[in-house]
Structure 1
């Protein structure tokens, strides 16, 4: 962690960058992470998780769980930690939370998904009106991406899609998505499933924007406006009574920013 950060009891944001599991990193998302730190009034731990070809999808998720264990081991209470991520990082924010809970770790205080990829089954996306409107993501190529980074070659594994898992243990969720992007399909479907599971979910649809637009903080006024919304959500989600902290450890490459 960088020197001079607040007392761990104040909490932190665990951030996962986007990049389709093959690109991007803590450098490409530094501006967004710094802005989110300001709006949430929390230090942000940005995780340089392994990507293809260094690992497959499962390895990226394991690195995320490892980063969460690191925060817990260093005194950050689970009820003061919020997971956040954009695009592929949005997938990780949900998958890491679900895997952590399944492993017996405490749930974080909240989850923020920015244009998250949540369902590898692209059947609904292939017929969604935004398939041809999305200027950024080639929706028809998403099944090819899955075959590239899936842990095991072969048929689609439904359990690798957060939308198909048991969502009842998740904390409050904020979903932010552009109105014309193809992953709006995933966000809308996830909001319905979270509601059915009794999980508090806020879905924000931003018209006139592109995929993962909050990453452009400092360049687009709407990006900063979205991060202000996310920061407010994080502050509210972490304003809850403290619980005991689990003492666990581990190492991927990560970076913190205040």
Structure 2
């Protein structure tokens, strides 16, 4: 029954406690980076996928692509990490599985992180990577999906909003997993789910926001895209756990986007925690989320197959 948590999420919660994860206390930036990358690398990279390093718009990027078969489009992915940790390597397994199931090539952007590179470095890199992707031979915006988890979900929205404002074509769609879209930490879920979230809290997220923003206004749409413009009708898929303090961010994004005319699919997963798809090798719901997101992505891309030139351009890792 839905009110009984699955055994795998119970086990994961116990593991997080055993590892000393405290939702109210952030470890040092160095420790966060080490722990997140170590966990991400513990998940197997999918068979049939290859990886290579490249750049997009001058921004380092890891490219994940099928070793055989044609690609239908490109996935531009921004990793989680509170703007100060996380990495493409730590997200390779998650994004590789998503790209494989959707039949696309994935570009995981290694954007600059705080505190070495505070606001607006991450937003600038994300947008430059999008412009760089559109500059590749054969890549058109209608074959590009932007995606990300947590801070990366916020960056996905920032890229789409900035593209619309600057006159660039907007991406075909965006997939957001537990997006951190409001750096004011003002949503109701920060209180309602405070006792259920094993990873984050208003306190810990406020600390991460301070590291990234300093004294900058957190309501700036380049930091908190929930306050940005939603009139460009970008199709959205949002996945979020019912037991995370960032639930309100997804609800707010879904509401703003729907009122702006976008087709919005929002799924709140019972008993799930922040970025639960990242834990896909431990959680059945995480694997299901990847499958559902990949299926949705295929419906967002043109149904006709790309030409040989387009397929090669999207697959070849040396481009850019």
User: 1:46 matched to which residue of 2?
Assistant: 108
- Alpha-carbon deviations, 1:54-82, whole Å to 9, x = none? 31231111111111112111121100100
Q: Distance in 1 between matches of 2:244 and 2:131?
A: 33
User: 1:195 matched to which residue of 2?
Assistant: 258
2:131 matches 1:69: yes
| Secondary structure class of the residue paired with 1:99 | helix
| Secondary structure class of the residue paired with 1:215 | helix
Shift of residue 127, structure 1, vs aligned partner: 5.4
| Secondary structure class of the residue paired with 1:225 | helix
Shift of residue 170, structure 1, vs aligned partner: 4.1
- Alpha-carbon deviations, 1:104-157, whole Å to 9, x = none? 21000000110000111222247531122211112223223222211x625433
Higher RCO (C-alpha under 8 Å, 6+ residues apart): 1
Q: Does the CA contact (< 8 Å) of 1:35 and 1:224 recur in 2?
A: no
Shift of residue 7, structure 1, vs aligned partner: 6.3
Q: Does the CA contact (< 8 Å) of 1:15 and 1:85 recur in 2?
A: yes
User: 1:60 matched to which residue of 2?
Assistant: 122
User: 2:84 matched to which residue of 1?
Assistant: 22
Query: Once superposed, which parts of structure 1, at least 4 consecutive aligned residues long, lie more than 6 Å away?
Result: 5-8
Q: Does the CA contact (< 8 Å) of 2:218 and 2:224 recur in 1?
A: no
User: 1:144 matched to which residue of 2?
Assistant: 207
| 5+ residue gaps, structure 2 | 1-53, 55-62, 306-316
2:168 matches 1:105: yes
Shift of residue 231, structure 1, vs aligned partner: 0.4
| Secondary structure class of the residue paired with 1:94 | helix
Match of 1:89 among 146, 152, 155: 152
Match of 2:215 among 146, 153, 171: 153
Q: Does the CA contact (< 8 Å) of 2:146 and 2:171 recur in 1?
A: yes
Match of 1:13 among 75, 88, 91: 75
Q: Distance in 2 between matches of 1:49 and 1:23?
A: 10
Q: Distance in 2 between matches of 1:207 and 1:213?
A: 11
| 5+ residue gaps, structure 1 | 243-254
Counting matched residue pairs gives: 242
Instruction: Give the TM-score, by structure 2 length.
Output: 0.70
Structure possessing the higher radius of gyration over alpha carbons? 2
2:209 matches 1:184: no
Shift of residue 195, structure 1, vs aligned partner: 1.2
User: 2:197 matched to which residue of 1?
Assistant: 134
Q: Does the CA contact (< 8 Å) of 1:126 and 1:140 recur in 2?
A: no
| Secondary structure class of the residue paired with 2:77 | strand
Q: Distance in 2 between matches of 1:173 and 1:102?
A: 18
Relative to structure 1, the CA distance from residue 127 to residue 179 in structure 2 (aligned partners, 3 Å threshold; closer, same or farther) is closer
Q: Distance in 2 between matches of 1:144 and 1:172?
A: 32
Shift of residue 241, structure 1, vs aligned partner: 8.2
For the aligned residues, what is the CA RMSD?
2.3
2:315 matches 1:232: no
Q: Distance in 2 between matches of 1:205 and 1:127?
A: 16
User: 2:313 matched to which residue of 1?
Assistant: none
| Secondary structure class of the residue paired with 1:211 | coil
Shift of residue 200, structure 1, vs aligned partner: 0.8
